[in-house]
Structure 1
Amino acid sequence: MKQIKKLSEDINYTAINLGNLDKLMEYSLIHPVNKQEIEGKVFLKEATKATGSEISFNSLPPKTEQPYFHIHYKNEETYIILKGYGFFQVDGKYFNIEEGSVIRVAPNGVRGIRNDSEETMVYIVIQSKENSLEEYTTNDGERVPFEPKWKK
């Protein structure tokens, strides 16, 4: 099983590197519910010490589908398709997806995904608590004077 490489860490950040996404299938984990090994999936919450979201990189081999449909109790999910094409289904309705597709699913949405392409599908899933985003983009920030170290 491939290990996540830590690039750098300090009090206000943790930086990691998964490596080339073509090698995502080298990662695996044991599913906490059914105890089966899942290849090509890596969760990032623990590795990055995140406190407000869970992000995972996922892959599906050609002509396969996620072997289950699921819901969540509190978290919405946003799927971002990076490579491949296929179908996404929510609550019995399905639609085509491809590289660049972004799908947000509410917690109660019954969801599943299929890779219909001849290549491994790669996608990111971001989980966050539904209705928890109070401030975002420029409303949740401020520009501060700082000299980039890489310019020296």
Structure 2
Amino acid sequence: MKEVEKLSESTNYSAVNLGDLKDIMDYSLIHPASKNLIKGKVFLKDATKATGTEISFNSLPPQSEQSYFHIHRKNEETYIIIKGSGFFQVDEDCFSIKEGSTIRVAPQGKRGIRNSSNETMIYMVIQSKENSLEEHTVADGERVPVEPKWR
């Protein structure tokens, strides 16, 4: 089982490297809920010491589907299709997806994904607590000087 490579870390950040996404199948894990071995999936929360999101990279072999539909209690998910094409279903709605498709699903949305292409589908899932960005604003950032720059 491949391990996430730590690039650098300090008080205000953690940086990791997954390697080439074409090699995502080198990762595997025992899913915490189902206890099943899942190949081609890697979670990044612990590796990056994240406190507000869980990010995972996932794969589906050609002509296959996630073996289950699921919901969440508190967290919404955003799926970003990086490679491949197929279908995504939320509740009773099923629609086509392809590279570049981005789907946000509320916690109670019954979701599933299917790869109908002849290549491995690669997608990223970002999970965060629903409504946690209530105070989000584009004015939240502040520009600051940095010296030395790009040392």
Pairwise TM-score range, normalised by the shorter structure: over 0.9
2:19 paired with 1:30? no
Aligned to 2:139, what secondary structure does the other structure show?
helix
Q: Which residue of 2 aligns with 1:106?
A: 106
User: What's the % identity of the aligned pairs?
Assistant: 72
What aligned pairs does 1:27-66 form with structure 2 within 5 A after superposition? 27-66=27-66
Task: Using the TM superposition, name which of 133-142 and 3-12 deviates more.
Answer: 133-142
Residue 148 of structure 1 and its aligned partner are, at CA, apart by: 5.1
Q: How many residues align?
A: 151
Normalized per residue, the structure richer in helix is: 1
Aligned position for 1:6: 6
Unaligned runs of 5+ in 2: none
The one-letter amino acid of 1:11's match is T
Is structure 2 residue 85 aligned with structure 1 residue 85? yes
* TM-score, normalization by structure 1: 0.96
Structure 1 outlier segments of 4+, above 4 Å? none
CA offsets 1:93-115 (integer angstroms, 9 cap, x no match):
10000000000000000000000
Alpha-carbon RMSD across the aligned residues, in angstroms, is: 1.1
Mapped partners of 1:139, 1:74: distance in 2: 27
Matched position secondary structure for 1:62 = coil
Residue 136 of structure 1: how far off its partner (Å): 3.6
Task: State the partner residue of 2:16.
Answer: 16
Q: TM-score, normalised by structure 2?
A: 0.96
- The whole-number CA distance in structure 1 between the counterparts of 2:119 and 2:46 is 29
Q: Secondary structure at the match of 2:24?
A: helix
Change (3 A) 1:146 1:138: farther
CA deviation string 1:22-58 (max 9, x = no partner) = 0000000001122110000000000000000000000
